[in-house]
Structure 1
Amino acid sequence: MSILQLKDVNTFYGGIHALKGISISVEKGEIVTLIGSNGAGKSTTLKTISGQVMPKTGSVIYEGKDISKQPAHLTAQTGIAHVPEGRRIFPRLTVKENLEMGAFIVKDKKIVKERMEKVFQYFPRLQERLSQKGGTMSGGEQQMLAIGRALMSKPRLLLLDEPSMGLAPVIVEQIFDIISDLNKEGMTILLVEQNAYQALQVAHRGYVIQTGEIVMAGQGQELITNEQVREAYLA
């Protein structure tokens, strides 16, 4: 059963036609990755899903409901969490305060505490840094915090935009291990990633996007062995 479908979505930035009639689907319990070069439309796809930009035409269907014109703050309340490119944590807030922001609509402090404890199971380092200002943390720690903040909303669909960007290889491995663990526990994930090999290794399925158009789709392992994909993104 599809938790998410994009149907013939066209998104513009002013006069720039960023997404040109793309159609993708994400089944419940899958990791689906979107790969492509810089400027191909990967981040715009996630922003269109989360309501940060509105498609001019086409539909974004989430759990059977058209959310194409729904603003981002409402989308965040319906079970979609977006970890943006560049992390976008609150640098002057502590780790604890950043995590609490992820559960801003939850009034029950006990639930907030329980969710935070769950985040610490994935990212024990955040518990060690609880009173530290987010902006003073390393890039890897900030990425952990950005994902942890998203998990505080207990999403049914997690949108991850370039989680490995700028990180050391050992931290990248940790982040992808956690992505796999989240999925094994039932989390549905749509992953945008410049590191195509890493993304396709963990993904059930993938789409290749070029200049705002989906040009290829297939199982993760199929795309890894596809000659065109290897030449363009895995060389």
Structure 2
Amino acid sequence: MSLLTMEGIEAYYGGIQALKGISLHVNEGEIVTLIGSNGAGKSTTLKSICGQVKTKGRIEFNGKDITSEQPHMIALGGIAHVPEGRRIFPKLTVKENLEMGAFSVKDKRLIKQRIEQAFIYFPRLKERYHQAGGTMSGGEQQMLAIARGLMMNPKILLLDEPSMGLAPVLVDQIFEIIQELNEAGMTILLVEQNAYHALQIAHRGYVIQTGEIILQDDAAKLLSNNQVKEAYLA
């Protein structure tokens, strides 16, 4: 069953068209990856879903048209966006960052439960609980950004370049955690320049180029596709 569907989405920055009729879907329980080079429109696609970019076309989530919804209402409806560059609150502690992720949750016991759940996936964060986010390593900050996204108990997690700037051992760790989240039931739309890692853990994939989807297939088939190999796996 399709949880998220985009149909003919166009997006503009001023007079520049960033997306040219993007259509894709994410089924419940899937990891779907969107791969492409810098400037291809990957991040803009996620921002369009979250209402951060004005669009033409139709975006449907969980059976509801959210094309014209305000960003905070989209978030409350079950879409969590972990943006490129982590964007944690550097002066706030891990605890405070996680609490900010649950901004609309009034039940303190529920917030505590979700923090404990996050620590199952990210035990390092428990060790850094009272440490300012900006003093942690890049990998730890990425873990915090993902954990903060989970605090609203979303129906789908949008991840934008989670491996960017990380050492190879941390990249492997982040992708393992993404797989674990999915195995626990989380639906994920993953934007990645690291096409090899993304396609290894995804169920399906889309290739975007200059604002258009040029290929879509099962992830395993995209991994063996010569066009994909030459452009993104070489």
TM range (shorter): over 0.9
Corresponding residue number in structure 1 for 2:216: 217
C-alpha distance in 1 between matches for 2:54 and 2:176: 33
Question: Aligned with 1:200: secondary structure?
Answer: helix
Q: How does 1:118-129 map to 2 (within 5 A)?
A: 118-129=117-128
Corresponding residue number in structure 2 for 1:28: 28
Question: Aligned with 1:190: secondary structure?
Answer: strand
User: Does residue 225 of structure 2 align to residue 232 of structure 1?
Assistant: no
Corresponding residue number in structure 2 for 1:184: 183
Corresponding residue number in structure 2 for 1:172: 171
Shift of 1:124: 0.5
Question: Aligned with 1:166: secondary structure?
Answer: coil
Question: Aligned with 2:112: secondary structure?
Answer: helix
Identity of aligned residues (%): 68
C-alpha distance in 2 between matches for 1:212 and 1:157: 23
Corresponding residue number in structure 1 for 2:8: 8
For normalisation by structure 2, the TM-score amounts to: 0.99
C-alpha distance in 2 between matches for 1:51 and 1:127: 32
Question: Aligned with 1:34: secondary structure?
Answer: strand
Question: Aligned with 2:12: secondary structure?
Answer: strand
Alignment size in residue pairs? 234
For the aligned residue pairs, the C-alpha RMSD in angstroms reads 0.5
Shift of 1:98: 0.1
Shift of 1:53: 1.1
Corresponding residue number in structure 2 for 1:158: 157
Q: Which runs of 5+ in 2 are unaligned?
A: none
The amino acid that maps onto 2:185 is G
Corresponding residue number in structure 2 for 1:134: 133
Q: How does 1:49-198 map to 2 (within 5 A)?
A: 49-55=49-55, 57-198=56-197
C-alpha distance in 2 between matches for 1:177 and 1:160: 14
Shift of 1:69: 1.0
Shift of 1:109: 0.4
The amino acid that maps onto 2:91 is R
For normalisation by structure 1, the TM-score amounts to: 0.99
C-alpha distance in 2 between matches for 1:18 and 1:41: 6
Question: Aligned with 2:120: secondary structure?
Answer: helix
The amino acid that maps onto 1:200 is L
Q: 1:94-141: per-residue Cα shift (whole Å, max 9, x none)?
A: 000000001110000000000000000000110100110111110000
The amino acid that maps onto 1:104 is F
Shift of 1:218: 0.2
Runs of 4+ in 1 over 6 A off after TM superposition: none
Question: Aligned with 1:47: secondary structure?
Answer: helix
Q: 1:189-220: per-residue Cα shift (whole Å, max 9, x none)?
A: 00000100000000000000000000000000
Question: Aligned with 2:84: secondary structure?
Answer: coil
Question: Aligned with 2:104: secondary structure?
Answer: coil
Shift of 1:177: 0.4
Question: Aligned with 1:75: secondary structure?
Answer: helix
